Structure 1
Amino acid sequence: MREKIVACLSASILFALSMQLAAAPAAPVLTYSTSGFTVTASWTRVPGATEYKLNYAPYPCAGPNSISSLNVGSDTSFSATLWNGAAFYIAVQAGDKQGFSEYSNIEYFIISQSSADLTGNWGMVETAGPNSCGIGAGLQNNYITAINQAGTFLTAQLETGLLKGSLAGNTLKLSGTLQDAGTNRAYKLYLTVSPDGREVSGSASWKLTSSHYKCSGVSSITGLRQY
């Protein structure tokens, strides 16, 4: 993906790099998240940098002349509320009095609102990520959850408890406490719904508590509607 956008925007990038001095800051690392129609870009703080520039261009690429930029000062995040179907490349540069860095990693996003009713049974796959519970990273758990939707309000019934939440645009948020084998799991899910309403993907954060220990972790989640 980076090769495609760099090739597409090469004229602009080469010009920008020609204006930099050798002592310009290192490039930051960019991440982003979406919630409904709102996208938030965040990046790492670079030692010595005094300002940051957020660069954006339409996706698919429309050439170097389509690139715009926004100086966000010393902030390391920026949020904007867009529209259904909005699609952009984004990249960040760090700057100081010597000039601006190279581009960060280049990401792209598409704001897509799902109009589908998510009511039904869903086959979910949860893959363990970093955690303090001793659960091996990459360990997978497969389960079925029954989702009921009324407007933008949703519930998800699991074997170990009920989660409640809402749908905003294509972003599904669910939270609740699950109980299993003497443990309580405070659970938060953030899922993106595919435009056709047949798939979800995202992440979960959780905290386990029992009479003997406390620990926490994160997981990645994928789901497919069952017919």
Structure 2
Amino acid sequence: MKNKSLISAILIATLFGFPLNLVSAPSAPVITHSISGTSVTISWTNVPGASEYKLLYAPIPYTGPESIGSLDVGGVNSFSANLWEGASFYVAVQAGDNSGFSEYSNIGEITIATTVADLNGNWRVTQTWGPNNCGYTIGTKFEEDFFFTQSGNTVTALDGDLDDLSGNITGTTGSLLYSYEDEDTKESKTINFTILPGNTLSGSILWKYRDKEGGSIECILNTSFTAIKS
């Protein structure tokens, strides 16, 4: 823990320098952040006595003091922004009052993932049946074609059953969903996948099916899969 604290202190000093006016300034806040797509929210703890906060940011990799930016965000305890794919920043926050600003908070590292593959086109999917209550033999393999259409982070797919799935991709992971229900049946498919090097995919499919006329028992099938673009 001592080594980690020392490394953090060195990083703070290297990136943002040493803050001034610390004699009676507020204590430093603690920051956290969350990312959803290209949107990021930075939050920090409330510091007693603080009347304002300053957000500092610098690019990753760090290119020198001239690259440091700051925003006076007032008395709020969070800040949100829409960035872009591939954006990467260090961030820190200071608490301030009439006597000056605190030491820097811990440093957050924010990186927005980049979509690295074009899914458009036909993919040959090899599935392996896993645990199920449908009577299917575990380990059985079969192949079918999926046709993907991608626009930005939005993805749709038509599978071998001609079911239309839709969802999103963030970075190298994505998820797709299909659901259908009428007076006789109820069916859903959930696909989670990862884009791998070499233009391949791997993931899982959760299939649920219920024949309403046959009772309330639902067939649930878990499969794993790999796919290559054909």
TM, length-normalised to structure 2 = 0.52
Q: 1:78-124 deviations in whole A, cap 9, x for unaligned?
A: 21233x4332222233333342342233213144233421775599x
TM-fit CA distance, 1:193: 6.1
TM-fit CA distance, 1:13: 3.9
- Partners of 1:44 and 1:188 lie apart in 2 by 35
Does structure 2 retain, via aligned residues, the 8 Å contact 1:41–1:78? yes
Residues 1:109 and 2:111 aligned together:
yes
Q: 1:15-45 deviations in whole A, cap 9, x for unaligned?
A: 21x332344133222213041xx23132133
Q: Root-mean-square deviation (CA), in Å?
A: 5.1
SS at match of 2:62: coil
Counterparts of 1:1-227 in structure 2, within 5 Å, are: 7=10, 10-11=13-14, 13-16=16-19, 18-35=20-37, 38-48=38-48, 49-73=50-74, 74-82=76-84, 84-98=85-99, 99-117=101-119, 120=123, 121=125, 149-152=148-151, 153-155=155-157, 164-167=166-169, 172=174, 174=176, 226=227
SS at match of 2:18: helix
Q: CA 1:42–1:171 in structure 2 vs 1: closer, same or farther (change >3 Å)?
A: farther
Does structure 1 retain, via aligned residues, the 8 Å contact 2:92–2:104? no
Q: Gaps (5+ residues) in structure 2?
A: 128-144, 180-187, 204-223
Q: Gaps (5+ residues) in structure 1?
A: 124-145, 178-184, 202-222
1:105 aligned partner, one-letter code: I
- Partners of 2:93 and 2:73 lie apart in 1 by 10
- Partners of 2:199 and 2:147 lie apart in 1 by 14
TM, length-normalised to structure 1 = 0.52
- Partners of 1:112 and 1:90 lie apart in 2 by 20
Q: CA 1:102–1:176 in structure 2 vs 1: closer, same or farther (change >3 Å)?
A: farther
Q: CA 1:165–1:104 in structure 2 vs 1: closer, same or farther (change >3 Å)?
A: same
- Partners of 2:40 and 2:126 lie apart in 1 by 28
Q: CA 1:65–1:200 in structure 2 vs 1: closer, same or farther (change >3 Å)?
A: farther
Identity %: 24
- Partners of 1:72 and 1:24 lie apart in 2 by 16
TM-fit CA distance, 1:60: 0.9
TM-fit CA distance, 1:197: 6.5
TM-fit CA distance, 1:12: 5.4
- Partners of 2:54 and 2:198 lie apart in 1 by 35
- Partners of 2:198 and 2:23 lie apart in 1 by 48
1:150 aligned partner, one-letter code: T
Does structure 1 retain, via aligned residues, the 8 Å contact 2:32–2:44? yes
SS at match of 1:15: coil
TM-fit CA distance, 1:156: 9.5
Q: CA 1:72–1:199 in structure 2 vs 1: closer, same or farther (change >3 Å)?
A: farther
Q: 1:121-171 deviations in whole A, cap 9, x for unaligned?
A: 599xxxxxxxxxxxxxxxxxxxxxx975212333598xxx99631347767
Partner of 1:212: none
Aligned residues: 180
